[in-house]
Structure 1
Amino acid sequence: MNTESLARDVPRAAPGAVVALAVSGRISVDPVEGRSVRFGRNRPDVEVCVGETDPRVSRQHGLLTRRAGRWWVTNTGRLPIRLPKTRWLFRDEDPVPLPDGYTPLFIRGSHDREHLLELYVAGEDGHHPATRHSAVTQPPKRWRLTPDEHLLLVVLGQRYLLHEANPQPVSRQHAAEILNELQPDAGWGVKRVEHMVADVRARLSAAGVHGLLREEVGEPVGNALNDNLLRELVLSTTLVPPDLALLDPIS
Structure 2
Amino acid sequence: MEPKLEHPGGLLLPRGHDSLTRGVARAVPGSVHVLALGGGGYAVGPRDGRTVYFGRNRPLVHVCVGEDDQQVSRRHGELTHRQGRWWLSNTGRRPIRLPRSQWLFAEEGAIPLAEGYTPLLVPGSRDREHLLEVYVTGVDGAQPRSRHDADTDPPRPYALTPDEKVMLVALGRNYLLRDPNPKPLTWKEAALRLAELQPDAGWTAKKLERRVSVVRDRLSRRGVHGLTREEVGEPVGNALNDNLLRELVRSTSLAPKDLDLLDWQS
Task: Specify the TM-score bucket, using the shorter chain as the normaliser.
Answer: 0.7 to 0.9
Kept in 2: contact 1:13–1:28 (CA 8 A)? no
Which residue in the other structure is 1:173 paired with? 188
Q: Is 1:62–2:73 an aligned residue pair? A: no
Alignment length, in residue pairs?
A: 250
Q: Is 1:21–2:38 an aligned residue pair? A: no
More deviation in 2-11 or 89-98? 2-11
- Code of the residue aligned with 2:241 in structure 1: it is N
Using the aligned pairs only, state the percent identity: 61
Which string of whole-angstrom CA distances, capped at 9 and with x for unpartnered residues, describes residues 25-81 of structure 1? 332211212322222233343333334444443332211111222111101122222
- Code of the residue aligned with 1:206 in structure 2: it is R
Kept in 2: contact 1:79–1:90 (CA 8 A)? yes
Structure 1 residues without counterparts, runs of 5 or longer: none
Which residue in the other structure is 1:92 paired with? 107
Which string of whole-angstrom CA distances, capped at 9 and with x for unpartnered residues, describes residues 166-221 of structure 1? 43323322333333333333333322211110011111122222222223334333
Q: Is 1:145–2:160 an aligned residue pair? A: yes
Kept in 2: contact 1:155–1:247 (CA 8 A)? yes
Which residue in the other structure is 2:93 paired with? 78
Q: d(CA) in 1 for partners of 2:46 and 2:92?
A: 24
Q: 1:140 to 1:6 in 2, by over 3 A?
A: same
Structure 2 residues without counterparts, runs of 5 or longer: 1-14
Q: d(CA) in 2 for partners of 1:189 and 1:53?
A: 50
Q: d(CA) in 2 for partners of 1:176 and 1:53?
A: 46
Kept in 2: contact 1:40–1:60 (CA 8 A)? yes
Q: 1:50 to 1:181 in 2, by over 3 A?
A: closer
Which residue in the other structure is 2:19 paired with? 5
Q: Secondary structure at the residue paired with 2:80?
A: strand
Q: d(CA) in 2 for partners of 1:239 and 1:76?
A: 36
Of residues 182, 198, 203, the one that matches 2:218 is 203
- Code of the residue aligned with 1:171 in structure 2: it is T
Q: d(CA) in 2 for partners of 1:53 and 1:170?
A: 37
- Structure 2 length-normalised TM: 0.83
Question: What is the RMSD of the two structures over their aligned residues, measured on CA atoms?
Answer: 2.5
More deviation in 167-176 or 134-143? 167-176
Q: Secondary structure at the residue paired with 2:211?
A: helix
